[in-house]
Every structure is written in C-alpha cells, then in structure tokens.
Structure 1
C-alpha cells in the first residue's frame, strides 16, 4: 500500500499516512499537495487530484517534543541501508558492537547492520578482538530522520523518489 509523507505547516515531517487519508486531508482543505506522482491522478465525478507523495498541513500542529527515536532491529537495518557494517554486503541481522553478555545493550550506538556470516565470525567478541573493522560508525538518528528513513523502507528498496531527489 502506498504511503504519503505528511509535513507540518513548518515543513517538518510529522507522519506517514495511507494514500486514502492523504486524499481526504487534501479534499477537506486541511492539507496541500507538495509533491505528486507525475503521471498518476485520483479521479472521481467531481474530483481530479494528482496522486500525493508529500502533503503539507495548512495549519501548524503542535507536537509533543520527542527527544529520541525508539530503537528497533528494523530501524537499525534501515539506518544502515541494509548494508553490512563490516564488509558492505547485504545485511540481514543486527550485530552488537559490544556483546550483550559483556554489558552492551540494544542502543543505536551499540548496534549495526550485519550479514549473517560476519555476525557469526565476530561471535561474542568486540570488533577489535575479532580483527574486524567497522566501515562506518553507528549513530543515533533524530526522530524526524527515523520517520523519513522508515517511510523510504516501506516504499520498497532504497529511498523513495521524492527523498532521493532532495538528498
């Protein structure tokens, strides 16, 4: 199912909604289409609307401040774009840089995407002990980054067209 990114009136990302919900918001004049699919349209008896990819709310919505994006295995894979942090191949698992048995936990800064082979090879050791080097350091995405990356993952492999063009 297609999802549409909803921006606040200040252009900050708020959420991802279904295409149906996005069309309803636009028809109720609560949102405007910021970016639409170039060839597809939504048509009805009295409606002819471009298929929205990104909509912006007409009124500012106050959102409670969220300091951190919640950690998840899927989030780590999306953050690292399904690329192994050790060899660069397709990642299918999440590896703990400092193993959980040694006090490492499920945090953004302690987990990286990994292929199953490298995850087994590293086992219950740190990368230094296993003689493995991280290609890139883990980082904690902002809540807005996590939302946009998650939306890109839901759209299929890689980032959606509207995000890839702006990057």
Structure 2
C-alpha cells in the first residue's frame, strides 16, 4: 500500500503515514480526507471507501522542532543512495568531506555518501587535494524538502501542500 501525507490543522505538512493509519484517522473523525485516489479503494465485506492520499488533522498538533534528524539512513536518502564521488550504489559508507582528523565535524554539511573504494582513496584529504569531485555538495535538507524529495514517494496530490521544487529553490 502507498503512503499518505498528513497535514496539521493549519495545512502545514506534519508527516507521512500508511494508508491503514490514515484511513483509521479519517474513519474515527480525527482527520478529514482532502485528496483520494481516483482508482484505488479500500473494501470491506459490505462497503467501499476511498483510499486516502492527503488527510488533515482536525486538531492542531504543536511540534516545537520539525527538522530532519541526521542519521546514516537519512544522509543516504539525501544523496540518492549513491557514492557522491563515482556514482555507484555498492558498498556505501559515510565520508567526512573535511576529515575529522583535520577538524571536520559530523554535520549535514560535512557528511557525504561514499563507496568504500572512494572513501579509502580519498583518505585523510579533502576532495580537492585527492583530485576527486563531489557530484553535489552536502547540505542540510529542510523538513518539507525531505518529505517532497527524499521520502521515496510523492503523489502529485501532495505538491500543493509541499510546494514545488522551483519555488523551494528560489
């Protein structure tokens, strides 16, 4: 089954959940259905229900921090599960662009996905010193950017609530 975009009461993106969870929230009147699949339905023995794509909670949920947690998994997602030096999908690890031994920090802006071969080749050098070029500079993704671009699924119905890539780039 697919994923459903969950919006707070003020229409701001809150999270992504499973179809059964979203259906349950709508069925229990804890959320309203904003967008549904035109081709897929949830069926019981007696009834047929629309499959949710976007729902909005009926009560506002206050979240003090909505950033993306820096984890190995999320860095791999940001980098498209590719080595940022050679582009392979095999034997991935994390590379400190500015090596830790030279003062490099473990931050979004200094970590890049690298295969073991490239990471070993780069060693204790910067990419420039090693004669290697990054496909993209490491960056800290915003919460909306992460849902829109890196969640693994984005339905066209989500875009009005997440903004377009062009608008986010400006």
TM-score by length of 2: 0.77
Which residue of structure 2 lines up, in the alignment, with residue 140 of structure 1? Answer: 140
Q: Which runs of 5+ in 1 are unaligned?
A: 153-158
Corresponding residue of 1:156: none
1:112-139 deviation per Cα after TM superposition (whole angstroms, max 9, x unaligned): 1223322221122211111111221111
Structure 1 stretch 90-99 or stretch 21-30: which is displaced more? 90-99
**Structure 2 CA distance for partners of 1:47 and 1:31, relative to 1, 3 Å:** farther
RMSD: 2.7
- The alignment status of 1:74 with 2:73, answered yes or no, reads yes
Match of 1:90 in 2: 89
Q: Mark the CA change 1:5 to 1:164 in structure 2 (over 3 Å): closer, same or farther.
A: closer
CA distance in 1, matches of 2:89, 2:20: 34
From the superposition, tell whether residues 122 and 164 of structure 1 become closer, same or farther in structure 2 (CA, over 3 Å): farther
Alignment partners' CA distance in 2, 1:93 and 1:36: 39
How far the C-alpha of 1:41 sits from its partner, in A, is: 0.9
Residue number in structure 2 paired with 1:116: 116
d(CA) in 2 for partners of 1:141, 1:14: 16
How far off is 1:73 after superposition? 0.9
User: Residues 78 and 149 of structure 1 are in contact (CA less than 8 Å); yes or no, is this contact kept in structure 2?
Assistant: no
List structure 1 runs of 4+ shifted beyond 4 angstroms.
147-150, 163-167
TM-score, structure 1 normalization: 0.78
Question: Residue by residue, what CA displacement relative to the aligned partner does 1:41-95 show, whole Å, maximum 9, x if unpaired?
Answer: 11225642222232222343332234x4221111111111123222333362221
Number of equivalences: 160
2:100 is the alignment partner of 1:100: yes
Structure 2: which 5+ runs fail to align? Answer: 166-170
